[in-house]
């Protein structure tokens, strides 16, 4: 393993089994990699708040490791929680997406590393589920604010 510097692992369907658990074999392999000085990065479509349980189980939460969240939109240093990179859509693009969502009767919720942005009133089940992950609704963008 001396040539390996970093291992990036997806969570859903890769690291987690069918019951949503991390196997003891995976935990042991990841521990062996970190003991060998290899960086282990969880890379997921989940928001940062959705990575914490797996990071804690693997002993990666409070270490000098990194996480890639929200399909690559956010890269965080685990130990300091410092955001190293964040690529988000501009508000104008979100407003355009919301117009499509309304046309097809789809709820639109956007997230960054800190907040959930709600485009629907009242707050939907999906938004309230995000809020249970210790997130706050920063701004509700109503249809009346759709004009650019």
Which residues are catalytic, by number?
10
Reference 134, options 108, 114, 111; nearest CA is: 114
C-alpha 10/C-alpha 45 separation (Å) is 8
Are 69 and 76 in contact by the 8 Å Cβ rule? The answer is: yes
State both tokens at 90.
């501009």
Q: Positive or negative CA dihedral for 111, 115, 119, 122?
A: positive
Ramachandran area for residue 20 (φ above 0: left; ψ -120 to 50: alpha; else beta):
left
Ramachandran area for residue 46 (φ above 0: left; ψ -120 to 50: alpha; else beta):
beta
């Amino acid at each position: 393993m001396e040539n390996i510097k970093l291992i990036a692992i997806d969570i859903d369907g890769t690291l987690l089994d069918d019951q949503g658990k991390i196997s003891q074999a995976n935990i042991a392999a990841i521990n062996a990699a970190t003991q060998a000085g290899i960086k282990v990065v969880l890379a997921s479509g989940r928001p940062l708040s959705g990575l914490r349980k797996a990071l804690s189980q693997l002993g990666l939460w409070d270490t000098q490791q990194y996480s890639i969240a929200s399909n690559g939109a956010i890269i965080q240093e685990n130990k300091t929680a410092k955001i190293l990179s964040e690529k988000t859509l501009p508000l104008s693009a979100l407003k355009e997406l919301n117009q499509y969502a309304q046309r097809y009767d789809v709820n639109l919720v956007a997230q960054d590393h800190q907040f959930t942005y709600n485009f629907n009133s009242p707050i939907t089940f999906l938004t309230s589920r995000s809020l249970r992950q210790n997130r706050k609704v920063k701004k509700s963008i109503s249809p009346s604010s759709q004009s650019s």
